[in-house]
Structure 1
Amino acid sequence: MNVFLKQVKETIVPSAGNPHGPLPTLFVLWTVVTGLVDAYSYLALSRVFVANMTGNVVFLGFALGGAPGFTWWASILAILAFMGGAFSGGKLRSSRFGKHRAQLLAATMVVQISLMSLAALAALLLHPAVSLIGLATTVLLLSISMGLQNAIARAMAVPDLTTTVLTLTITGLAGDGSGQPDKEHNVGRRIISISAMMLGAFIGAILVHYETPVAGLGVAIALLAIILWRALVHQNDTAKWTVVRSKP
């Protein structure tokens, strides 16, 4: 239990010697953003995910198989836009910001906040629930944003905090505890990661239920702004944790 509590603490409030500096805390907030955005996209945008591409592949299969309630072109658009965002993340990783984790995170936040703000504006003006143009625009902007997030989180490589995909985290939670001595079993961090995604989805679902779905994007933008602020605080740090690995 003491080890578990220490792992939870190191994830939420990292110590001065944490090899990833303040990133675990910021990545937890980033994971909450994913839950918020996917709750909005699935519940308010015709059953499409903008972060969970596995879900979109399955939804596309459902739609092509004739299952009602799924929009095939929205799933394809989300996948292609997500790939475009991930490609942009690779370009950003190769830019002058790409060698310093805090600077890379700050640059990513500026782009992501811009994309998500435009998506929120499109949702308010174009009414994606009833307008195909509104739906396409909102899905496009959000999927690019989440593809960028996925690529940058992968590049900065904080273990068990991918911020968008939990399949490997859940697998590790069970599989690494089966007596494999060469595997780090960070139960605390993995549970925090899973809980953060669930928390975001919970808040997003409540906002949709009370017919204020775009408010979920507002909360997500606010969290991204907090991450940007903290990244800027550390943009001139020279500690070891700020170095981006050559290969994620």
Structure 2
Amino acid sequence: MLALTFSTGVADAVGYLGLDRVFTGNMTGNVVILGMALAGANNLPVAGPLLALFTFMLGAAVGGRVLRPVAIGWTTHASVLFGVQGLVMAALSIALFLGGGRPPAPFDLVITGFLAAVMGLQASIARHIGVKDVTTVVVTSTITGFAADSRLGGGKGQPWFRRLAAIVLIGAGAAVGALLLMAHIGWGVALSAVITLVVTALGHAAGRPHHAP
């Protein structure tokens, strides 16, 4: 889940810097951008964030539908869904490389829609697997828990490594995604695809459901 958190940072950097300021994983950011754009702020996109919101929810709904009857934890269903996500991202990276660079409108919306959909799928799988404080797509609640449960906040103990790692890794992923974008927009998506497929293989080998839903 921490590896996928890093991957989300990469994908969000690709979306924001390479696909007209759209987050593919962080839907809070899209809601804020959309609100400011609808209020008349200059040069802010509307179609991209709106499409990303819709397709993210669609991907999450698919994941919820498939996983609802399945025991919580890593199951074969989770492996299949993560595998689908990785393959879709691999196909998108190939399309970006064949296209020669950043896609022009309206093809950028197609890439945005598919990326957001598989990130929604990822978020729903992570939610079902249930690693506390690691949703893989946002870290606001993780930052809140890290601060509130710290000694400064009056806490006496917390899973600080997992929380801190999630916060650092999503930022590191965004930095790596931005650097890869300087070479080609396809590299960031390709890296996310590789990470997802490797996680799928490792998770399928080691994962187990841990209780009934």
Q: Give the TM-score taking structure 2 as reference length.
A: 0.90
- Given residue 233 of structure 1, which amino acid in structure 2 is its aligned partner? A
What are the residue-to-residue correspondences of 1:126-137 with 2, within 5 Å?
129=102, 131-137=104-110
| Higher relative contact order, structure no. (Cα contacts within 8 Å, ≥ 6 residues apart) | 2
Matches of 2:28 and 2:212, distance apart in 1: 27
Aligned to 2:154: 179
- Given residue 46 of structure 1, which amino acid in structure 2 is its aligned partner? D
Matches of 1:120 and 1:104, distance apart in 2: 25
Structure with larger Rg: 1
1:196 aligns with 2:169: yes
Aligned to 1:243: 210
Q: CA RMSD in A?
A: 2.1
Matches of 2:145 and 2:212, distance apart in 1: 22
Q: 1:134 to 1:125 in 2, by over 3 A?
A: farther
- Given residue 119 of structure 2, which amino acid in structure 1 is its aligned partner? M
Give the Å deviation of 1:130: 5.1
Matches of 1:222 and 1:231, distance apart in 2: 14
**8 Å contact from structure 1 (residues 122, 134) kept in 2:** no
**8 Å contact from structure 2 (residues 71, 210) kept in 1:** no
**8 Å contact from structure 2 (residues 133, 142) kept in 1:** yes
Matches of 1:53 and 1:59, distance apart in 2: 10
Match of 1:43 among 8, 14, 17: 17
Matches of 1:134 and 1:41, distance apart in 2: 13
Match of 2:133 among 160, 170, 184: 160
Matches of 2:72 and 2:155, distance apart in 1: 34
Matches of 2:199 and 2:37, distance apart in 1: 37
Matches of 1:244 and 1:200, distance apart in 2: 32
Give the Å deviation of 1:244: 4.9
Structure 2: 5+ residue stretches without partners? none
SS in 2 for 1:243: strand
Matches of 2:43 and 2:71, distance apart in 1: 41
**8 Å contact from structure 1 (residues 101, 244) kept in 2:** no
Structure 1: 5+ residue stretches without partners? 1-26, 236-240
- Given residue 175 of structure 2, which amino acid in structure 1 is its aligned partner? F
Equivalent residues, number: 211
Matches of 1:33 and 1:98, distance apart in 2: 26
Identity %: 32
Give the Å deviation of 1:66: 2.6
Matches of 1:58 and 1:122, distance apart in 2: 29
Cα-to-partner distance string for 1:189-237 (whole Å, 9 max, x where unaligned): 11111111111111101112x23121011111111121121123236xx
Aligned to 2:119: 146
Aligned to 1:103: 76
What are the residue-to-residue correspondences of 1:212-223 with 2, within 5 Å?
212-223=184-195
